[in-house]
Structure 1
Amino acid sequence: MTIEKIDTLIVGGGQAGIAMSEHLGNNGVEHLVLEKNRIAEAWRSGRWDSLVANGPAWHDRFPNLKFEDCDPDEFPGKERIADYLVDYAKQVDAPIRTGVEVTTARRTEDGSAFLVDTSAGQIKARNIVAATGAFQCPVIPPIVPQAADLEQVHSFHYRNPEQLPDGAVMVVGGGSSGAQIADELNRAGRKVFLSVGPHDRPPRAYRERDFVWWLGVLGLWDMAAQKPGTEHVTISVSGAYGGQTMDFRRLAGEGVTLVGRTDSFKDGVLKFGGDLQDNIAKGDANYNEMLDMADAYVERTGIDLPEEPGARDVFPDPDCLTNPIRELDLAAEGITSIIWATGFRQDFSWMEVDTFDEKGAPLHQRGVSNEPGIYFLGLPWQSRRGSTFLWGVWHDAKHIADQIGIKQAYLTYQGPSER
């Protein structure tokens, strides 16, 4: 069988792979993108029906293409984002092959390249960029046995309220996905319980500017690492219903019952930690810290943005916060479904190379791995806070493409005896 040869192979045809292709093309590096499904498949089939972007159209995009059919302050829907990525791939003439899955990649015996096994044959590549994204394998913690008489789905597989059996719903996870899904189910008339863990809760907008704007002018998008102790703190923000601050007191006032972090399950009873009040308080502190930083910026720079004193108003504490529920008999409460909005893990098991720690996480610096010729793109906090956003992954891709180009220049150098 003939082995195809390429300089750089990009695995993954989502936003990371497309951005990588653009920059490699600009650097004149021969490359190929392989995608096992359709372009931007995760946006189409790995999101619920009503999902919109968490950032406005003017911000959450690649630098060289606007959402022409969206108001700049609109939050585009998931299908529109997928179409945008398809359009961008065409614009940069990305050499993408869809429907081709990569199964293994290993260094060749002579060490000069990598041999990649795919569903369409073998490819020999000098470099590999793993651009498979941050949301690969949905994680459901082993708390409630699958044998329990409940419908259990991860947020990745949730589509709409009609998908679930009649009855109340337990949503586990107070990040953006869990909070938005709980809100949607509650608006659809379902009885909803929401398990809230540690979280950041920024204002959706303040003083006529979206919070993504504030993160930009305050330099917070360029934070290189999370603060110690906050590695497992999620962010709760929403672009749904025109964009709104995810205030858990508001959700509770509208009918959602809040509980603490989900701990255990036995004999039909789900038990929760006693951390709900603390989690809500820390989320409030994060919210107020953002307002304080924004106010200080306005005062320091003199920028003309109107005051917004009402932003510090607080909804009344609901009873479920004042008197936290520590356990629920699911059958007695009529709960027939659990949605686990509990995040993802990455899977690089197809890469038979020595650049992972004992937990399987890539060892790299800004996407350049410890293994020569292996690169990663689209990792959370790859170089900065914004690395998983469209514009953030675009900048990370440029850095990696530049590193590949620099290495290529060194490899083409001819010593005195070769001239």
Structure 2
Amino acid sequence: MKNTKTEVLVVGAGQAGIAMSEHLTDRGISHLVLEKDRIAERWRTGRWDSLVANGPVWHDRFPNLEFAGLDAEEFATKDQVAEYFEQYVAKLDAPVRTGVEVTKMTRNEGRPGFTAQTSEGTIQADYVVAATGPFQKPAIPQIVPETEGLQQIHSSSYRNPQQLPEGNVLVVGAGSSGVQIADELRASGRQVHLAVGPHDRPPRRYRGQDFVWWLGVLNKWEMSAPPQGAEHVTIAVSGANGGHTVNFRTLAHQGITLVGRASVYRDGVLEFDADLAENVSRGDANYLSLLDEADAYIEANGLDFPEEPEARELGELPACISDPIRQLDLAAAGITTIIWATGFMVDYGWLEVDTFDERGRPKHQKGVSEEAGVYFVGLPWQSRRGSSFIWGVWHDARYIADQIMIQRGYAAHPPMKQPAALSAATF
């Protein structure tokens, strides 16, 4: 593949890169998709063994291919999702090259386009799409020193309870990943503490419809930006065991000890913020608010959906919430492992163009970079709330393909002929 030329170079063959390839193909735009590992590698090796998708397969897919062998309301396993994208690449006959890493991308000097240095040679491209997604570099807060003798891993490195040393576990972060990992560890017989930060807590299902349906008909997937102050709020919802609503009261009554956000570590003692009750209360308010909106929608549209008054029964407030632990001696609590379910940071070290802020985050509008010819797909809130989901990235990729078509049109437009010099008599 040495000294290759293509019109568009797409970097990454996960859901974002595959969606991008489909829309470029539909528009007759020549392109290559490079992936340093395998197709959908993050689904294969960046998830724990028992993970399933957070949305049912009727919704969490691309429009032009259904999941084979699964009922519409089922949740695909991580391996089924990876297989789905392999099938999609085969269906498209997409120009995907796996095992090829892009190590450096720069803008050409004195001529249009970009030069990519890869593990298999040089590629020239008119346009570049960074489709490496949001899960690039695990974010682990520097709270507990590595020298403390505890095993500390990110949730992306967790596979199953058997991989951990004997002892109890602290899970930090109560979004979908943290909650499901904590519950799996509890079910395996471990004593688990779960640090709970701000979160949204939708019902898994309500009155006969999944939460993805409710967010759709209520236009919540189309929110263009998170509410002020909620930029880092996670969604606590689970597709595990057929799907269920996350209820922190229930988790506590089942044996998980809830604590506030981890803050300071001194001499073997980890301190937690006094925000647990507030975080749980706001999550409950978010949950009840969605039920209210759903009820109003049903009434306004005269829908014959089943009543579900029990959905509003939140349960008794457990002692760990009403009288929370503020300090925890990790050794005395028998904790030998900390799992940081604290999200990810982006890593675009290979993309040497001027379109990143001081924290290395892309500066863009709906994926259109400030650097002409550079585009992004797969970013959280790229154009809407649904951008991080499988179906959402497909729609974002379509928009980027349209933007590339527009730029091709500008590039193909010839310059105007210079008019003949006007004689002095004209004036």
TM range (shorter): over 0.9
2:146 aligned counterpart, secondary structure = coil
Q: How does 1:89-108 map to 2 (within 5 A)?
A: 89-108=89-108
CA distance in 2 between counterparts of 1:108 and 1:202 reads 48
Counterpart CA distance in 1 for 2:297 and 2:147 is 54
Kindly indicate whether the alpha-carbon contact (under 8 Å) linking 2:2 and 2:120 is maintained by their aligned counterparts in 1. no
The 5 Å alignment of 1:224-303 reads 224-303=224-303
Question: Secondary structure of 1:129's partner?
Answer: strand
Is residue 48 from structure 1 mapped to residue 64 from structure 2 by the alignment?
A: no
CA distance in 2, matches of 1:65, 1:275: 44
Note the C-alpha offset of 1:315. 1.6
* Residue 135 (structure 2) pairs with residue 138 (structure 1): no
One-letter identity of the residue aligned with 1:143: I
Question: Which residue does the alignment assign to 1:183?
Answer: 183
Q: What is the distance in 2 between the residues matched to 1:366 and 1:331?
A: 47
1:95-129 Cα shifts (integer Å, max 9, x gaps): 00000001111111114111111111111111000
The answer to which of 406-415 and 276-285 deviates more is 406-415
Greater CA drift, 107-116 or 256-265 = 107-116
3-state SS of paired residue (1:74): coil
Superposed displacement of residue 2, structure 1: 5.2
Matched residues in 1 for 2:260 and 2:416: separation?
A: 69
- The one-letter code of the counterpart of 1:281 is S
Residue type matched to 2:18 in 1? I
- Residue 401 (structure 1) shift: 0.5
Task: Quote the Cα distance in structure 1 between the aligned partners of 2:90 and 2:161.
Answer: 35
Q: CA distance change for structure 1 residues 125 and 334 in 2, over 3 Å: closer, same or farther?
A: same
Distance 1:107 1:295, change over 3 A: same
Please give the alpha-carbon distance, in whole angstroms, between the structure 2 residues aligned to 1:399 and 1:267.
Answer: 52
Query: Secondary structure at 1:283's aligned position in 2?
Result: helix
- Classify the secondary structure of the residue corresponding to 1:222: coil
Which of 314-323 and 371-380 deviates more?
314-323
The CA deviation at 1:417 is: 4.4
Equivalent residue letter for 1:365: Q
Separation in 2, partners of 1:406, 1:140: 40
* Structure-1 separation of matches of 2:291 and 2:54: 19
| Larger CA Rg, structure 1 vs 2 | 2
2:59 alignment partner in structure 1? 59
2:10 counterpart letter in structure 1? I
Asked if the contact 2:200–2:283 (Cα under 8 Å) also holds between the matched residues in 1, the reply is yes
Q: Secondary structure at the match of 2:148?
A: coil
The residue aligned with 1:385 is 385
Determine the C-alpha separation between the residues in 1 that align with 2:414 and 2:138: 48
Cα RMSD of the aligned pairs, angstroms, is 1.1
Instruction: Give CA deviations for 1:346-402 in whole Å, capped at 9, x if unaligned.
Output: 011111111112221111111111111100000000000000111110010001001
Q: Deviations over 1:143-170 (max 9, x none)?
A: 0011111111100000000000111100
Measured against aligned partners, the alpha-carbon deviations of 1:32-62 in whole angstroms (never above 9, x if no partner) come to: 0000000000000000000000000100000
What's the offset of the Cα at 1:416?
Answer: 5.5
Alignment of 1:4-403 (within 5 A): 4-403=4-403
TM-score, scaled relative to structure 1: 0.98
192-201 or 106-115: bigger deviation: 106-115
Q: Which runs of 4+ in 1 moved over 4 A?
A: 415-418
Deviation at 1:3, TM superposition (A): 1.9
2: CA distance, partners of 1:212 / 1:377? 21
Question: What do residues 216-273 of structure 1 show as CA deviations (whole Å, max 9, x unaligned)?
Answer: 0000001100011111211100000110111011000100000000001111111100
Long gaps (5+) in structure 1? none
